[in-house]
Amino acid sequence: MSESRAFCPRCGDAVPERSASDANDPLRPGAEVELCDSCYFEDFDFVDAPDRIDVRVCSRCGAVYRGNRWVDVGAEDYTDIAIEEVSQALAVHVDVEDVAWQIDPEQVDQNTIRMHCYFTGVVRGTPVDEQVTVPVKIARQTCTRCGRIAGDYYASIVQIRAEDRTPTSDEMDRAKEIANQTVADMEATGDRNAFVTEVGETDDGLNIKVSTNKIGKKISNKMIEEFGGTVNDAETLVTEDEDGNEVYRVTFAVRLPPYTPGDIIDLAEDDGGPVLVRSARGNLKGIRVTTGERYEASYEEGNSPEARKLGELEDATEATVVTVEDDNAVQVLDPETFQAKTVARPDYFDPEAETVPVLKSRAGLHILPDERDD
Ligand SMILES: [Zn+2]
Ligand SMILES: [Zn+2]
How buried is 135 (Cβ within 10 angstroms: 0-12 exposed, 13-18 middle, 19+ buried)? middle
| DSSP for 45-88, written as a single string | --EE--S-EEEEEETTT--EEETTEEE----SSHHHHHHHHHHH
Q: Which of 62-76, 216-230, 311-325, 359-373 has the lowest average pLDDT?
A: 62-76
Average confidence (pLDDT) over 59-77: 85
Q: How many residues make up the chain in this entry? A: 374
Task: Evaluate if residue 27 carries a pLDDT over 80.
Answer: no
Q: What spacing in Å lies between the alpha carbon of 150 and ligand 2's midpoint? A: 10
Separation of 131 CA from ligand 2 center, angstroms?
34
Where b means 16+ CB within 10 Å and e means fewer, 89-108 reads bbebbebbeeeebeeebeee
The ligand whose atoms approach the alpha carbon of 71 most closely is 2
* Lowest-confidence segment of 114-128, 239-253, 324-338, 353-367 by average pLDDT: 239-253
- Whole-angstrom distance, CA of residue 206 vs CA of residue 173: 10
For residue 71, the CA-to-ligand 2 centroid distance in Å is 9
326 SS3 class: coil
**For the CA of 58, the nearest ligand:** 2
- pLDDT-derived band at 366, boundaries 50, 70, 90: very high
pLDDT greater than 90 at residue 18: no
Could you tell me the distance, in angstroms and rounded to a whole number, from the CA of residue 180 to the centre of ligand 2? 18
The rounded Å distance from CA 125 to ligand 2 centre is 48
| Entry pTM | 0.69
Ligand 2 ion local residues (Cβ < 5 A) = 58, 60-61, 63, 143, 146
- For the segment 200-224, what is each residue's pLDDT rounded down to a tens digit? 999 999 999 999 999 999 999 999 9
CB atoms within 10 A of CB 221: 15
The terminus-to-terminus CA distance of the chain in angstroms comes to 89
Neighbours of 285 (CB within 10 A): 17
Ligand nearest to the backbone CA of 141: 2
Tell how far the Cα of 92 is from the centroid of ligand 1, in angstroms: 23
Separation of CA 119 and ligand 1 centre (Å): 26
Distance (Å, whole) CA 255 – CA 270: 26
**Closest by CA position to 136, among listed 99, 111, 165:** 111
Is the pLDDT score of 32 beyond 70? no
Q: Point out the ligand nearest to the CA of residue 9.
A: 1
Helices assigned H by DSSP within 205-245 = 213-227
C-alpha 48 to ligand 1 mean position (Å)? 23
Rounded to the nearest angstrom, the distance between the alpha carbon of 7 and the centre of ligand 1 is: 8
From ligand 2's centre to the CA of 240, what distance in Å? Answer: 25
- Tens of pLDDT, residues 285-294: 999 999 999 9
What average pLDDT score do residues 353-374 get? 88
CA-to-CA dists, residue 94 to 35, 51, 85, 88, 99, angstroms: 16, 21, 20, 16, 10
Mean pLDDT over the full length of the chain: 89
Which tens digit of pLDDT belongs to each residue from 44-53? Answer: 999 999 999 9
Q: Which ligand has its closest atom nearest to the C-alpha of 146?
A: 2
Domain boundaries, the chain: 37-141, 152-256, 263-367
Query: What is the whole-number distance in angstroms between the Cα of residue 338 and the centre of ligand 2?
Result: 66
- Residue of 209, 213, 313, 221 whose CA lies nearest to 260: 313
Instruction: Say how many Å lie between the CA of residue 11 and the centre of ligand 1.
Output: 4
Which pLDDT value is given to residue 177?
97
Q: Is the pLDDT of residue 313 over 60?
A: yes
Cα of 40 to ligand 1 centre, how many Å? 7
Ligand 2 centre distance from Cα of residue 153 (Å): 14
Q: How far is the CA of 148 from the centre of ligand 2 (A)?
A: 9
Q: How far is the CA of 73 from the centre of ligand 2 (A)?
A: 11
Whole-number pLDDT of residue 6: 80
